[in-house]
Structure 1
Amino acid sequence: MVARYVADLIAALERYGDRPAIGAGRDVLRYSQVLDTVYRVAGVLADAGVGRGVGLACVTGGNRPEALLVRIAAHLLGARLTPVVGGPAIHGVDFILRDCRPGLVVHDVPVPEIGARRLGMDELFVAAACREAVALPVRAREGDIARVLYTGGTTGRPKGVASTFGAMAARDGGRGAVWTESVYLSVTTLAQRSGGRCLEQLRAGGTVEILDPFGPREFAAACRRLGRVSTYLTPPMIYRLLDDPATAEGISGLEAVSYGASPVLPARLGEAVARWGVRWRQGYGMNEAAVICRLTPADHDAAVTGRPELLASVGRPVAGVELQVRDERGVVLPAGRQGEVWVRSETVMAGYWNEPGLSAEVLREGWLRTGDVGHVGEGGYLYLDDRVKDVVIVDGANIYCLPVEASLARHPAVAQAVVVGRPSMVTGEEVCAFLVPSPGHPPSGTAAAEACALVERELAPAHRPTVVFWAREIPLTGRGKPDKRRLRQRAASGDPGIELPPDPGR
């Protein structure tokens, strides 16, 4: 069966021909122009060997409209797309490009040589402009793998989340959840949530505007210029807007905000909801399962008029999603009891790319183990209490702890390293390291800074701890594992130990 998600997208490009589709400042493409360009780009890609089931990696240094056009062309051809946007939290690009097995790598930044054919983004669009826009049939099929998105890996290697075209069509957040009466202002990475959200807007006949990079003043100026704006923000972006005098009390033209990607501080969220006078919607989800729960605009209104506890929840399951909280044996727990969140829906991933063992661990008879610990409260609202997955979310990027711990422990002064996250008013969370000194190496700020610099060199700047605590020993759980819950509590309490901002100038 032809992939409905792609067929609907192409039909929308045909139907809304004269409407503005994709903007980036003064440059605006109408729907008919997008469709013509997609056909031209698809023709070039097809000549380069890209077709149904063939891997196509698209590596860009930022958010540019061309990345969306490549994405649509890849879907039209039925290719297996892996988008990657470079940035301070990205490491392992060499592994990603080898693991996704692309037949072609399209890029606008330098990429490692992996044996696959490479094509510059500008070169691709120059070649596309020189050919006719010949209509192509939709070659994608419902069960084909549409994309493989890579997340950080707990083992130090990124892991690819493989989703079918059928799962993409089933994802909540399509036409019924798109605010098409406003322009969708895209400010987060097109390689992840925002890229899909842009295509949802186009499928519904709406307009997309791409802003890169994000800044409070630039965001406010775009909202004023566009007039009626909806957007998706990460919590750190909300905090930056609240902390800037120009945007703290409201943003002219902004009508609706969706947010997610990392935990939000309820008190700060409450400030924004009370001040800005816009519609708010939270989405709790993950690459493996799309949106799982939503906190609706009505929920946010209720929160500021008498139910503030709702701002600490992630909402209720969206249509088509079954949710259960289970204990370590997989037994379903009643409301109020804490356990791991399991979900089942048509949007769940097909599995981890090239990782059958890991896929079998998290996929159980149609259910996905999310790795999040939570409980269901009054009214069916889900509250997240902890994580099974060992990850810190900094500026919306997943920083997995194990690779950071391994880098820290390679310093001769460090006998053991344990990494946790704690809330940050700036980045949502920040990376905190607990270090046990090696014999003969007294704890010092110099050694801590050197160990953190090692992390930055081996991984990426975003992985570098911003706070370090020296400890005589690491507290353990009853099973003999580091008690990260206690460490998170200690980090959040401000217990100094020997606290070190590794690089105050950053």
Structure 2
Amino acid sequence: MAARYVTELVEAFERYAERPALGVGPDVARFSQVLDGVHRLAGALAEAGVGRGSGLACVAGRNRPELLTVRIAAHVLGARLTQVVAGPASYGLDFVLRDCRPDLVVHDVPVPETGAPRIGLDELVRRAARRPAAPMPVRAREEDVARVTYTSGTTGRPKGVASTFGAMAARSSVRPAGWAEPVHLSVTSLAQRAGGRCLEQLRAGGRVEILEPFAPREFAAACRRLGRVSTYLTTSMVYRLLDDPATAGGVPGLETVSYGDSPIHPERLREAVTRWGCRWQQGYGMNEAAVICRLTPADHDAAVAGRPELLASVGRPVPGVEVRVRDGDGAEVPEGCTGEVWTRSAAVMAGYWGQPALTDEVVREGWLRTGDLGHFGGDGYLYLDDRVKDVVMVDGDNVYCLPVEAALTRHPGVARAVVVGRHSDRTGEEVCAFLVPAAGRPPGPGTAAEACDLVEQALAPAHRPTAVFWERDIPLTARGKPDRHRLRERLRLGAPPAPPERQA
């Protein structure tokens, strides 16, 4: 039986045939035109040897609409797809292109020679355009691997997350019927969360607009032009919009903001929610499990109306997803106690591609160990405290980085904060903070000490950073998350200390 995820997607394109579907600026294709392109691309890929169970890698230098049509064409054929949008923060491409074992590599930027056949993306599109738009039967099956998506690899080499078509269907089912926004403006990598989010929008009959590259003022101009816009923003994008005078007070035309990818500082989130007046929602998830919890628009409204603690939460489990917080032995911990977050649902990955031993470490009887540390508060809300590998051990006590970062950014002179640990002969490890000053507020002689005072008041003396470094910006991974690995490496290599007047 053909995979439901793919058949329902094709049926949606047929149902909404004459509606606008996919655009970049003034060029907007209807659903029927996009579907014709999908069938042509599927034919061209099949002619190049791609079929059910084949590996297809697609590497692009920027977000472009063809990445979505190639993705759908691969799904129709039942191929195993790996997509990469290469950028300045990307690395490990040679490893990825060998590890995913592609039968064909499609690219529009130079790629390493790995022995697999290659074709330029533009050449593939030209070949497809010469073919008839004859419908291709859906060859994918529920149990087939649909995608192998690679993690950012900040703690080692990237890992390939294998997801079946059945899991993809479960991931799309968390959205209620008729949820589509008039226009979804896509500004993040189509190889990651944005690609799936665009297909969800199209499945519901909504229009997708792609903006590349992201910049606050260009984003605002697109929202004004399109009107009634929904979007998905990384945490760093929210910060950039808040810090740009042109967008700090709001973005006309922007109605709904989903955000995620990395933890957001509650004070900055409150600033955005109260200034912009949009509908806000957060999805906590990961490649291995899709969306696990959601902080809804109603939760955000409640937060600004008198429950500010909710802005530090990632919400409550979405329907069909089980979440537990467990100790090192796998036993559940009481409410309010920190442990590792485990989750179970039909959306969980099939495993790490080609790494059964690693899969066995993190998947136990259908439960996925997320590697995130958190606790349940009242009313079933989940709060994240840290990543298992990011905990700083000070005199044998666990210091969780996220609460420290949240406390630091309560200071009006601190726009962003990232905390990591480094070796200390006295305490085993010490807490180090990298801070970005608030726009228009260069750090004064006592700013760092005042921010660290807030940490000590909110948490405990052991949580107080012992070293502070002021930065123009925080380095990010290819997925837009703070690159803690790079910051730790700078510390290991002897990053210069802050001037005396700025030390904590």
Q: What runs of 5+ residues in structure 2 fail to find an aligned partner?
A: 393-400, 426-474, 477-481, 500-504
1:469–1:499 Cα contact (<8 Å) kept: no
Partner of 1:244: 244
| Map 1:234-383 → 2, pairs under 5 A | 234-383=234-383
- Matched position secondary structure for 2:487: coil
Instruction: Please give the root-mean-square deviation of Cα atoms over the aligned residues, in Å.
Output: 2.8
1:104–1:118 Cα contact (<8 Å) kept: yes
1:289–1:349 Cα contact (<8 Å) kept: yes
Superposition deviation, residue 224 in structure 1: 0.5
Q: Given the superposition, is the C-alpha separation of residues 177 and 363 from structure 1 closer, same or farther in structure 2, using an over 3 Å criterion?
A: farther
- Counterpart CA distance in 2 for 1:334 and 1:388 is 19
2:242–2:249 Cα contact (<8 Å) kept: yes
Partner of 1:55: 55
- Matched position secondary structure for 1:84: strand
Superposition deviation, residue 468 in structure 1: 4.7
Q: What runs of 5+ residues in structure 1 fail to find an aligned partner?
A: 393-419, 438-454, 473-495, 501-506
Partner of 1:29: 29
Q: Deviations over 1:63-96 (max 9, x none)?
A: 0001101000000000000001101221110010
Give the alignment's TM-score, normalised by structure 2.
0.80
Q: Given the superposition, is the C-alpha separation of residues 255 and 173 from structure 1 closer, same or farther in structure 2, using an over 3 Å criterion?
A: farther
Partner of 1:444: none
Superposition deviation, residue 174 in structure 1: 5.2
- Counterpart CA distance in 2 for 1:156 and 1:255 is 38
| Map 1:37-48 → 2, pairs under 5 A | 37-48=37-48
- Matched position secondary structure for 1:258: strand
Superposition deviation, residue 152 in structure 1: 3.2
Q: Deviations over 1:93-119 (max 9, x none)?
A: 001000000000000000011111101
- Counterpart CA distance in 1 for 2:178 and 2:333 is 34
- Counterpart CA distance in 2 for 1:58 and 1:161 is 16
- Matched position secondary structure for 1:304: helix
Q: Deviations over 1:441-466 (max 9, x none)?
A: xxxxxxxxxxxxxx99xxxx966439
- Counterpart CA distance in 2 for 1:222 and 1:391 is 40
| 2:205 aligned partner, one-letter code | G
Superposition deviation, residue 365 in structure 1: 0.3
- Counterpart CA distance in 2 for 1:65 and 1:391 is 40
Superposition deviation, residue 427 in structure 1: 9.6
1:159–1:353 Cα contact (<8 Å) kept: yes
Q: Given the superposition, is the C-alpha separation of residues 48 and 469 from structure 1 closer, same or farther in structure 2, using an over 3 Å criterion?
A: closer
Partner of 2:167: 167
How many matched pairs? 430
- Matched position secondary structure for 2:67: helix
- Counterpart CA distance in 1 for 2:248 and 2:155 is 40
Give the alignment's TM-score, normalised by structure 1.
0.80
Superposition deviation, residue 172 in structure 1: 5.0
| 1:122 aligned partner, one-letter code | D
- Matched position secondary structure for 1:35: helix
| Map 1:428-447 → 2, pairs under 5 A | 430=418, 434=422
- Matched position secondary structure for 2:231: strand
- Matched position secondary structure for 2:44: helix
| Map 1:173-212 → 2, pairs under 5 A | 175-176=175-176, 179-212=179-212
Superposition deviation, residue 323 in structure 1: 0.6
- Counterpart CA distance in 1 for 2:391 and 2:330 is 22
Residue 497 of structure 2 is aligned to residue 498 of structure 1: yes
- Counterpart CA distance in 2 for 1:471 and 1:189 is 31
Superposition deviation, residue 248 in structure 1: 1.1
Q: Deviations over 1:376-429 (max 9, x none)?
A: 00010000011114599xxxxxxxxxxxxxxxxxxxxxxxxxxx9985989966
Q: Given the superposition, is the C-alpha separation of residues 202 and 427 from structure 1 closer, same or farther in structure 2, using an over 3 Å criterion?
A: farther
2:172–2:200 Cα contact (<8 Å) kept: no
Partner of 2:20: 20
1:146–1:164 Cα contact (<8 Å) kept: yes
Partner of 1:213: 213
| 1:198 aligned partner, one-letter code | C
- Counterpart CA distance in 1 for 2:15 and 2:100 is 34
- Counterpart CA distance in 2 for 1:257 and 1:338 is 29
| Map 1:1-16 → 2, pairs under 5 A | 1-16=1-16
- Counterpart CA distance in 2 for 1:385 and 1:32 is 47
Superposition deviation, residue 197 in structure 1: 0.2
- Counterpart CA distance in 1 for 2:493 and 2:36 is 62
Q: Given the superposition, is the C-alpha separation of residues 74 and 316 from structure 1 closer, same or farther in structure 2, using an over 3 Å criterion?
A: same
Residue 228 of structure 2 is aligned to residue 228 of structure 1: yes
Q: Given the superposition, is the C-alpha separation of residues 348 and 391 from structure 1 closer, same or farther in structure 2, using an over 3 Å criterion?
A: farther
Partner of 1:465: 487
Superposition deviation, residue 179 in structure 1: 4.3
Q: Given the superposition, is the C-alpha separation of residues 34 and 294 from structure 1 closer, same or farther in structure 2, using an over 3 Å criterion?
A: same
Q: Given the superposition, is the C-alpha separation of residues 134 and 158 from structure 1 closer, same or farther in structure 2, using an over 3 Å criterion?
A: same
Partner of 2:108: 108
1:2–1:139 Cα contact (<8 Å) kept: yes
- Counterpart CA distance in 2 for 1:434 and 1:466 is 7
- Counterpart CA distance in 2 for 1:172 and 1:162 is 16
| 1:51 aligned partner, one-letter code | G
| 1:187 aligned partner, one-letter code | V
Superposition deviation, residue 131 in structure 1: 1.1
2:59–2:106 Cα contact (<8 Å) kept: yes
- Counterpart CA distance in 1 for 2:360 and 2:278 is 42
Superposition deviation, residue 499 in structure 1: 3.8
- Counterpart CA distance in 2 for 1:467 and 1:364 is 33
